Chains A and B, each alone.
Chain A
C-alpha cells in the first residue's frame, strides 16, 4: 500500500528551505483531534535549550485532515444512502427474531434485492445530477459525474450477478449481462448510426462493417436490420441474396424474455442455430472472385457477422479485439451467442477463459471490480472497491455478508469480519465531517463490539453547544436541545453508559452557567449522586458568596427535582436529603421576602429539629433566626421551638470548645469576610442574646403568643 502524501498549504517552510529548518533544530509535531480526522500541526524545537533564534516569526498551528471532508453533492449522497442502509439493517434486525434460515428464503432475498436496487437507482440519480451543467449552490462537485457512473456500473453489475430476481437464480444470464453492458457502455455511438443512415450507399463508408458487426454483437436488432436492409441495394447480387436470407434469421433470434419456459427457449435456440448454419453453407457457395466490392472484401465481414451468430468463440474474440471492445463484451456476447443457456455459476469459468486472453485493465479500478465480480471473487471486488471509494466497499460488503458471499469469521489480528472492516473504514472516513455524527455512528453501531466502542467515543463528544452564537435560543436551551438529541440516539442504540456520561458533562456545564435546575435534573438522569451533591453544594455556595436573595432565586429552580426524586426509590438518600435542605432553606428566604415570618420561623425550627439541615448550616440558620426572634409585635416561636434553637446553639458552643468547631462553623465562617472561627462564635453570641431576650418576652407576655403551644 502506497502512503499518501499530505502537503500543508500555505507551507510552513518555503520550498528548498526544508533542510535549513531541520538543521536549525526544529521539526514538526502533531497532535490528533478528537473532533474529526485531523491533526493539529506545529513547529517545535528538537533542541531542549528551548530558545528561539528568530523570535519575530509567527508560531502558527495548522489543522490538516487526512481524509477529504465530504462536501456538496457528496454529503447528500452520503446522507441519502444511509437511509437505505438503515432500512436494510432494520430488515436484518427483524430477521434475528425469525428462523436463522429465513435470510436464505425468497422473501428475504427479494427484500435484499429491493434495497440493492434502491442503491443502484440512487447512484444513478446522483450521476444524472452530477452530469447536468448547472450552477451548484453548494459548491463545485467533490466527485465527478464519471465517478458516480463507475459506482453505478459496479453496483448494478453486482445486482445482475449476485441478486437476480428470486426464482431466476438458475436462469440464463446472457440477456441480463448484455442489457447491463448496453446501459453502461454504449457502443456503437448514436452519432455513427446517424451518419451511416444518412448515406445512400453506407457500405462505401469504412465504418459501415465495423458498425454492423458491433450492433450484431450487442444484439441491437433494430439497428442491424436497418443496415442489412440497406444492403439490399448493394451492387453484388450474391450479397443481396445472402442478406435476404439473413434478415428473417436476425429478426427471429429467440429472446429469453419471450418464452415462459426455458425448455421452449432452448428448443427454439437450437432450431435457430440450424438456420444460421444454412447461411454458412450458402456463403461458401459464393465464388472467391465475387467476394469483393469496390472498397473491400464484403464476404469476410459478413462471414464475421455470421460467425458471431453461429456463436464461434474465436470469431467473437477476434472481432471484439478489432473493434476495441474488451473482455466484458466477449463475456456478454458469449451468453447470447456461444452459450445462450449460460448460468451464473458457469460464468466464472467463461470469465476466466476470456480474461486469460483479454485481461482487465489494471489501471482502471472500475474494470478490476467488474472482472472480480464476473470471476466470482467478491472479496477481491471489495479490495478494488475500497480503493475506488470507501462508500462502495462498505455497501458491497454490507450486502455481501447476509448473502453468504463473505467469510463471517473474524480476522485473528483485527478481530473484525470482512464486512465490519469495510464498513468501519467508511465510518472513519465519515468522521472527517463531525456534523455527520449521526450517520457515522449508524455505521459504527452496525459493527459489533469494536464498532460500538468507536461509536461511543464519537457520541460522548457530540458538542453540547453546537453554535452558541448562531442559535436563536439561549445557551441553556441549546444544551438542553443537544442533550435531548444525543439521549434519543443513545436510547435508539441502547447506549445507556454514554447517555449518563453526556448528562454528567452537561450537568457540569450547567453549573458553570449557574443553571442549577438543569444541572440537577441531568445528575438525576445520570443517577450520578456524587455530582448531585456537588451541584447542591454549588447552590448553597450561592448563599455564601452572593447572599440570600440570589440563593433563593437559584434554589427555587431545583424545587421540581425534589418531587421527581421523592417519587423514585433512591438508595442514595444522603444526596436527596441535601437537595431537600437546599430547597427548603431557600423557601425560608422566600417567606422572609414575602414577610411570612410565621412560616419562616416554623421552617427554621423544622429544619433543625428534624436534622434536615447539615451541621455546618446550623449556625447559619441560627443567625437567620435572630431577625425573627426580635420581630416586634408577635412571638413567632413557641417556647419549645426556642428551646430547640438554644439546644443547637449549646451543641455548637460545646463542640467548638472541644476543637470540633470546623464541623459546625465552616459555612458561617465563609460568610464573614476575612473572618475566622472566632468571628463566627462572636456572631453566635448575638443569637444567644436574642434567644435570652426572647425567653424573657415569653415569660412576660405569654398571652401575646401567636402560636398555641
Chain B
C-alpha cells in the first residue's frame, strides 16, 4: 500500500461567514450543500474536470440560528433539501425551474434546537426524520401536493442528537422468508419488493442510548423496538449502513465517550452485538503523524484520542469515515476475519 498520499484538490470556497457544521453531497455526488453558524445553507455544483472548481453557489436564507445539518431527498422527488437549526425549525427547500431555491415548508413542532434530519430510503416515499434537543423525534410524511403529516414522539431524555434510517429492504430478505412480525409497508403498486420493505430508523441520544424505531401499520404509530446500550456518554451520531447484499445489518455510533461502536445484527431475529473500533491499530501506519501516535498512545485501547463527532458510510457500506475531535478523519473497513481495521488516516 502506498505510504503517504497527497490529495491535491482545489478546495471549494464556500464563502460561509462562520463555521460549517455539515456538508452533504446529493444523490449523484454532483452538488454539495453546506450549512453554517452564519444561519445559511449553501448549494454548490461540483464540476468535474476543472480540478473540481465550482460555479458560484446559491445561498438559502430562512433560519434564525446556526444550521446544524442538511439532507438531500432522493431525486425522484425533485431537487429537495431539508435543513435543521438551533432555531428549532426544520425547513424544506426546493429548486424549481426558473425560480431557484425556495422554501416550500417549515416544520415548527419542536420546542428546542433540531440537531439532525434524515430522509428515508426512497422506496418508502418522501419521509423525513428529525431529532431535537427537546427530547422528541418527529417523522414527516409528505404528500404529493407538498403538504405533510407529522408524527412526533418522545425519543431520548435530555435530547436527541442524530437519526439514521435503515435500508428499505431488510438485509437477507430476498433470500430468506419474511417473518410476519416485520413491520411492512402496504403495497402502493409501484415500487418492487414492497412486501419486503420496512420503515425503521435509529436515533442517538444524550441518555447514552441508541434506539431503534419501527412503524406499525396496524396501529399507525412508531414503536420503540430495541435499545442499544454500550456508550457511557452522549451518543453524538448514528449511521445505519446501506444494504450491501449481506444478511446482516450494521449500525455505527459515535460518542462523547471517545468510542465508535459497530453494532451488528446477524439476521432479522438475532440480537445486536457490538464491537468498538480500535484506533491503536492505526499505529501500524509508518507515517502516522506524531500527534496521532502520541495521542493514541495515551488513549486506552478501543478509545479515540478525543470525542468522536461523526460517522459516515460509503455508498457500498464497506467503508466507514470517522471524524474525531483530534483533527483527523480515519477510514475503516471490516477485514475478512470480521475485525475492523483503519485503512486511511486523513490529516487536516
- Listed stretches B102-110, B149-157, B304-312; interface member: B304-312
Chain A: CB-nearest residue to B25: A33
A463 & B309 in contact (Cβ 8 Å cutoff): no
A18 & B29 in contact (Cβ 8 Å cutoff): no
B346 & A41 in contact (Cβ 8 Å cutoff): yes
Evaluate whether A27 and B324 lie within 8 angstroms (CB atoms) in the complex, with A1-B284, A4-B285, A65-B7 already known.
yes
Q: Would you call A30 an interface residue if the criterion is a C-beta within 8 Å of the partner chain's C-beta atoms? A: yes
Q: Mark A449-477, 1 if CB is under 8 A from B, else 0.
A: 11111100110010100000000000000
Evaluate whether A35 and B29 lie within 8 angstroms (CB atoms) in the complex, with A6-B4, A58-B15, A61-B34 already known.
yes
Q: Would you call A132 an interface residue if the criterion is a C-beta within 8 Å of the partner chain's C-beta atoms? A: no
Q: Which residues of A contact B344 (CB under 8 A)?
A: 3-6, 66
B346 & A28 in contact (Cβ 8 Å cutoff): yes
A5 & B309 in contact (Cβ 8 Å cutoff): no
Residue of A33, A36, A451, A531 near B190 (CB, 8 A) is A531
Q: Would you call A60 an interface residue if the criterion is a C-beta within 8 Å of the partner chain's C-beta atoms? A: yes
Query: In B1-35, which residues have CB < 8 Å from any A CB?
Result: 1-9, 11-25, 27-30, 32, 34
State in angstroms the CA–CA spacing of A67 and B75 once bound together.
27
State in angstroms the CA–CA spacing of A501 and B192 once bound together.
10
Q: Which residues of B contact A52 (CB under 8 A)?
A: 18-19, 37
Shortest Cβ distance from residue A60 to the other chain B in the assembled complex, whole angstroms:
4
A7 & B285 in contact (Cβ 8 Å cutoff): no
Residue of A7, A55, A449 near B6 (CB, 8 A) is A7
B318 & A428 in contact (Cβ 8 Å cutoff): yes
State in angstroms the CA–CA spacing of A52 and B188 once bound together.
48
Q: Which residues of A contact B8 (CB under 8 A)?
A: 9
Shortest Cβ distance from residue A13 to the other chain B in the assembled complex, whole angstroms:
5
State in angstroms the CA–CA spacing of A7 and B5 once bound together.
6
Q: Mark B302-322, 1 if CB is under 8 A from A, else 0.
A: 000011011011111011010
A29 & B309 in contact (Cβ 8 Å cutoff): yes
Q: Would you call B329 an interface residue if the criterion is a C-beta within 8 Å of the partner chain's C-beta atoms? A: yes
Q: Would you call A681 an interface residue if the criterion is a C-beta within 8 Å of the partner chain's C-beta atoms? A: no
State in angstroms the CA–CA spacing of A435 and B30 once bound together.
13
Q: Would you call A513 an interface residue if the criterion is a C-beta within 8 Å of the partner chain's C-beta atoms? A: yes
Evaluate whether A463 and B321 lie within 8 angstroms (CB atoms) in the complex, with A7-B6, A34-B315, A421-B336 already known.
no
Chain A: CB-nearest residue to B291: A18
Of A413, A452, A463, the most chain B CB neighbours within 10 A belong to A413
B310 & A450 in contact (Cβ 8 Å cutoff): no
B321 & A31 in contact (Cβ 8 Å cutoff): yes
Shortest Cβ distance from residue A11 to the other chain B in the assembled complex, whole angstroms:
7
Of B28, B46, B97, the most chain A CB neighbours within 10 A belong to B28
Evaluate whether A42 and B23 lie within 8 angstroms (CB atoms) in the complex, with A7-B6, A413-B336 already known.
yes
State in angstroms the CA–CA spacing of A11 and B327 once bound together.
13
Query: For this complex, into which size category does the number of interface residues on chain B fall?
Result: 35 or more
Chain B: CB-nearest residue to A386: B1
Shortest Cβ distance from residue A589 to the other chain B in the assembled complex, whole angstroms:
23
Q: Would you call A62 an interface residue if the criterion is a C-beta within 8 Å of the partner chain's C-beta atoms? A: yes
State in angstroms the CA–CA spacing of A88 and B207 once bound together.
56
A5 & B287 in contact (Cβ 8 Å cutoff): yes
Q: Which residues of B contact A38 (CB under 8 A)?
A: 29
Q: Mark A509-542, 1 if CB is under 8 A from B, else 0.
A: 1001110000000000001111100100100000
Evaluate whether A27 and B325 lie within 8 angstroms (CB atoms) in the complex, with A52-B18, A387-B1 already known.
yes
A22 & B29 in contact (Cβ 8 Å cutoff): no
Q: Mark A8-40, 1 if CB is under 8 A from B, else 0.
A: 111111000011011000111111111111111
State in angstroms the CA–CA spacing of A22 and B331 once bound together.
20
B7 & A534 in contact (Cβ 8 Å cutoff): no
State in angstroms the CA–CA spacing of A4 and B330 once bound together.
10
Q: Would you call B255 an interface residue if the criterion is a C-beta within 8 Å of the partner chain's C-beta atoms? A: no
Residue of B6, B76, B328 near A9 (CB, 8 A) is B6
B348 & A12 in contact (Cβ 8 Å cutoff): yes
A22 & B306 in contact (Cβ 8 Å cutoff): yes
Q: Which residues of B contact A40 (CB under 8 A)?
A: 23, 25, 32
Q: Which residues of B contact A13 (CB under 8 A)?
A: 327, 348
A62 & B325 in contact (Cβ 8 Å cutoff): no
The interface residues of chain A, by DSSP majority, are classed as: mixed
Evaluate whether A529 and B12 lie within 8 angstroms (CB atoms) in the complex, with A1-B341, A6-B6 already known.
no
Q: Would you call A701 an interface residue if the criterion is a C-beta within 8 Å of the partner chain's C-beta atoms? A: no
Q: Would you call A64 an interface residue if the criterion is a C-beta within 8 Å of the partner chain's C-beta atoms? A: yes
B28 & A461 in contact (Cβ 8 Å cutoff): yes
State in angstroms the CA–CA spacing of A44 and B242 once bound together.
25
Q: Which residues of A contact B22 (CB under 8 A)?
A: 29, 31, 44
A512 & B5 in contact (Cβ 8 Å cutoff): no
Q: Which residues of B contact A39 (CB under 8 A)?
A: 321, 329, 331, 346
Query: In A662-707, which residues have CB < 8 Å from any B CB?
Result: none
A31 & B37 in contact (Cβ 8 Å cutoff): no
A508 & B247 in contact (Cβ 8 Å cutoff): no
B13 & A60 in contact (Cβ 8 Å cutoff): yes
Of A43, A64, A500, the most chain B CB neighbours within 10 A belong to A64
State in angstroms the CA–CA spacing of A45 and B38 once bound together.
13
Chain A: CB-nearest residue to B3: A5
Shortest Cβ distance from residue A501 to the other chain B in the assembled complex, whole angstroms:
7
Q: Which residues of A contact B327 (CB under 8 A)?
A: 13, 18, 21-22, 26-28
Evaluate whether A7 and B14 lie within 8 angstroms (CB atoms) in the complex, with A1-B335, A21-B348 already known.
no
Q: Mark A433-451, 1 if CB is under 8 A from B, else 0.
A: 0110000000000001111
Shortest Cβ distance from residue B242 to the other chain A in the assembled complex, whole angstroms:
7
Q: Would you call B217 an interface residue if the criterion is a C-beta within 8 Å of the partner chain's C-beta atoms? A: no
State in angstroms the CA–CA spacing of A434 and B52 once bound together.
14
Chain B: CB-nearest residue to A534: B144
B343 & A463 in contact (Cβ 8 Å cutoff): no
Shortest Cβ distance from residue A43 to the other chain B in the assembled complex, whole angstroms:
7
Q: Which residues of B contact A22 (CB under 8 A)?
A: 306, 325-327
Evaluate whether A4 and B2 lie within 8 angstroms (CB atoms) in the complex, with A63-B52, A513-B97 already known.
yes
Q: Would you call B289 an interface residue if the criterion is a C-beta within 8 Å of the partner chain's C-beta atoms? A: yes
Q: Would you call B342 an interface residue if the criterion is a C-beta within 8 Å of the partner chain's C-beta atoms? A: yes
B6 & A463 in contact (Cβ 8 Å cutoff): no
A61 & B144 in contact (Cβ 8 Å cutoff): no
Q: Would you call B223 an interface residue if the criterion is a C-beta within 8 Å of the partner chain's C-beta atoms? A: no
Q: Would you call B36 an interface residue if the criterion is a C-beta within 8 Å of the partner chain's C-beta atoms? A: yes
Shortest Cβ distance from residue A142 to the other chain B in the assembled complex, whole angstroms:
12
Q: Which residues of A contact B74 (CB under 8 A)?
A: 505
Evaluate whether A512 and B79 lie within 8 angstroms (CB atoms) in the complex, with A59-B19, A454-B245 already known.
yes
Q: Mark A389-416, 1 if CB is under 8 A from B, else 0.
A: 0000000000000000000000101110
Shortest Cβ distance from residue A584 to the other chain B in the assembled complex, whole angstroms:
23
Residue of B189, B307, B319 near A572 (CB, 8 A) is B189
B19 & A7 in contact (Cβ 8 Å cutoff): no
Q: Would you call A233 an interface residue if the criterion is a C-beta within 8 Å of the partner chain's C-beta atoms? A: no
Evaluate whether A59 and B36 lie within 8 angstroms (CB atoms) in the complex, with A32-B314, A414-B336, A531-B190 already known.
yes
Q: Would you call B286 an interface residue if the criterion is a C-beta within 8 Å of the partner chain's C-beta atoms? A: yes
Q: Would you call A278 an interface residue if the criterion is a C-beta within 8 Å of the partner chain's C-beta atoms? A: no
Q: Would you call B178 an interface residue if the criterion is a C-beta within 8 Å of the partner chain's C-beta atoms? A: no
State in angstroms the CA–CA spacing of A457 and B122 once bound together.
13
State in angstroms the CA–CA spacing of A295 and B234 once bound together.
84
B7 & A64 in contact (Cβ 8 Å cutoff): yes
Residue of A4, A9, A33 near B1 (CB, 8 A) is A4
Q: Would you call B184 an interface residue if the criterion is a C-beta within 8 Å of the partner chain's C-beta atoms? A: no
Q: Would you call B100 an interface residue if the criterion is a C-beta within 8 Å of the partner chain's C-beta atoms? A: no
10 contacts between A and B (CB under 8 A): A2-B285, A3-B342, A19-B291, A22-B306, A31-B312, A32-B321, A58-B15, A61-B34, A461-B28, A530-B189
Top 7 A-B pairs, shortest CB-CB distance: A35-B29, A450-B245, A60-B11, A64-B7, A453-B245, A413-B338, A3-B285
Residues of B within 8 A of A (CB): 1-9, 11-25, 27-30, 32, 34, 36-37, 46, 48, 52, 66, 74-79, 86, 96-97, 122, 144, 174-175, 188-190, 192-193, 242-247, 281-282, 284-289, 291, 306-307, 309-310, 312-316, 318-319, 321, 323-331, 334-338, 341-348
Beyond A415-B246, A534-B144, 17 additional pairs, beta carbon < 8 A? A3-B330, A5-B289, A6-B347, A21-B348, A22-B327, A28-B323, A31-B321, A41-B348, A43-B19, A44-B19, A50-B86, A63-B46, A66-B319, A413-B338, A453-B243, A508-B77, A527-B190
